[in-house]
Structure 1
Amino acid sequence: MICFPNAKINLGLNIVSKRDDGYHNLETVFYPIMIKDALEIIETPNLEKDIFVESGIKTGTTAENNLVMKALHLIRSHYSIPPVEVHLLKQIPFGAGIGGGSSDAAFMLKLINSKYSLGASSNELAGMASQLGADCPFFIYNKPMFATGIGEKLEEVEVSFENYYLILVKPEIFVSTKDAFASIEPKQPDMSLKEIIKHPIENWKNLMVNDFEKSIFPKYPMIEHIKQKLYALGAVYASMSGSGSSVYGIFNKKTDLKHHFDGCFVWEQE
């Protein structure tokens, strides 16, 4: 059985407060985009232990540390699952702020649930996913969501890029989440993102921010340069996604932009 985990972008990201546990409360809107990995499980008779095969973009992690296998072990702690052969084809770049690893983990939970007819509800799967990563629960539902807490409290929202063109640009830069949080000063936003997304996309430029840009741009000027170039090329809104390093631009018409970003990973969604 095979599935195709997709990525996400953040529409705004406000760091609103620091928690007693050392984490930060935030608010953001997760929006699914259709750049995808491929994840397959094969039940092999007489298999004594799990087999993990990874291809495509190399993540550099061991099988034990891969979120896909952690998801498998987690759901197995709740249900009886025989050893399986797992194949992961990575196409979503990592270190990009678009949730590729989190998506793989969440889709693994859904895939096992479907393959073995476990009957686990979406809420039950989301509860498991929250143990794997803050944005993993979003991928269980995989629809536009307003997220609070550390990203695990989700509320469905209406937002669509229909009739718009989206381009995602990722330079050869890896941004660690630790670095992204290093210079953050939490504060309550003047307007909630849940209200901002109700405005026309053309108005977002003056309303919607990603707080991580303040700490990331001085350290990685190339990321800020990409955002500025997207605006110069006609984007109605552009932003870094998550803690970076990818930047997306929303355009009101399809434009051939790939040649403007040599040396970067570029993906387009109409």
Structure 2
Amino acid sequence: MILRPRPDGRLLGWAPAKVNLFLEVLGKREDGYHELETLMVAVSLFDTLVFQEDESGVIEFRCDDAALPQGPTNLVVRSALLVREETGSRRRGVSIWLRKRIPVAAGLGGGSSDAAATLAALNELWQLGLPLPELAGLGAQIGSDVPFFFHTPMAVGRGRGERLTPLTLTQPLHLVLVCPSQGVSTTEVFSRLSPVAERQSIDGMLSVLSQGSSDRIGQFLFNRLESTACQLCPEIREVQEAVRGTGLAGPLMTGSGSASFGLAASRSAAIQAARTLRERFPGRVYVVRSTA
């Protein structure tokens, strides 16, 4: 994420999306969650947030997407309430404006990224002085993906996805994201997931990354949730067939869906593929790269 103060006292934040290059489900845990092993990369599709301290002590949230909840079920609001409660800052207030650009229910982590940006912004705006591990710990209470956005641009996630091992990406990745016309419920995808006899190993993916062979990443893309999500949203397969037809590596669904991506050899190749895909999926195609 990126935070920049303005002369008028407001704080601007840019919250990136993420994609999963690898996602395996290792089993169901006693707490009801699933044990995961995943590789996440932050990409250059951003929500924008504006934070301004409110001396009245009110937490006010507004968003340009009327479909998003505005109350305490919203992850931004939950994050603000949590950090205020956990730090004894109950009299502190903030006005938050969210300009939503990351598609929802797409597996791109937009809500989690917004939550992480909120925790980091309030830590700065309210001068709380919380260290990064503590912010990430608060984030884990909000959602499994939230801690990742304190460890971008790339990390392996284990546990629920919140136990992170940061990695270095030696070369930028160029991707084309395509969203179906409908989203997918994460809860429903996991509830329909069937156990598998043989698990996919992340070792091949980690090996090509350690060698700096980003051109071989496409050989090791994997997402255990993909087939289940496709049962709920058959349009995912339609999107992937179109992506494959452009010559991009992959494609692969990210997270629990419904967005898929293909990997391009260069930005110009990504732009060319996106031009073709936009004829079929207008308004739902994004050219992005891994963030620095």
Tell me the TM-score normalised to structure 1 length: 0.91
CA RMSD of aligned residues (A): 2.0
Q: CA deviation at 1:160?
A: 4.8
- Paired with 1:68 and 1:191, the residues of 2 have a C-alpha distance of 32
Quick one: which of 199, 206, 210 aligns to 1:194?
A: 206
Is the CA contact 1:237–1:251 (under 8 Å) kept in the aligned structure 2?
Answer: no
Aligned twin of 2:147: 137
Aligned twin of 1:269: 288
1:52 partnered with 2:61: yes
Q: Deviations over 1:80-102 (max 9, x none)?
A: 25112111111111101000000
Q: CA deviation at 1:34?
A: 1.4
Q: Deviations over 1:97-153 (max 9, x none)?
A: 000000011110000111122111110100000000000000122220011111000
- 1:108-127 paired onto structure 2 within 5 Å: 108-127=118-137
Q: % of aligned pairs identical?
A: 29
* Structure 2 residue matching 1:110: 3-state secondary structure: helix
Tell me the TM-score normalised to structure 2 length: 0.84
The amino acid that maps onto 1:78 is E
The amino acid that maps onto 2:285 is V
* Structure 1 residue matching 2:165: 3-state secondary structure: strand
Aligned twin of 1:218: 231
Q: Deviations over 1:160-180 (max 9, x none)?
A: 552x53111111111011221
Is the CA contact 2:53–2:125 (under 8 Å) kept in the aligned structure 1?
Answer: no
The amino acid that maps onto 1:188 is R
Q: Deviations over 1:11-54 (max 9, x none)?
A: 11101121111211111111001111111111244x25222211
Consecutive unaligned residues of structure 1, counting only runs of 5 or more, are none
Q: Tell me: CA distance 1:202–1:66, structure 2 relative to 1, closer, same or farther (3 Å).
A: same
- Paired with 1:113 and 1:203, the residues of 2 have a C-alpha distance of 40
- Paired with 1:242 and 1:250, the residues of 2 have a C-alpha distance of 16
- Paired with 1:138 and 1:191, the residues of 2 have a C-alpha distance of 18
Q: Tell me: CA distance 1:165–1:204, structure 2 relative to 1, closer, same or farther (3 Å).
A: closer
Is the CA contact 1:13–1:26 (under 8 Å) kept in the aligned structure 2?
Answer: yes
* Structure 1 residue matching 2:93: 3-state secondary structure: coil
Q: Tell me: CA distance 1:101–1:95, structure 2 relative to 1, closer, same or farther (3 Å).
A: same
The amino acid that maps onto 1:67 is L
Aligned twin of 1:175: 184
1:75 partnered with 2:88: no
Aligned twin of 1:66: 74
1:247 partnered with 2:264: no
Aligned twin of 2:163: 153
Q: CA deviation at 1:206?
A: 3.9
- Paired with 2:135 and 2:225, the residues of 1 have a C-alpha distance of 29
Quick one: which of 94, 114, 118 aligns to 1:84?
A: 94
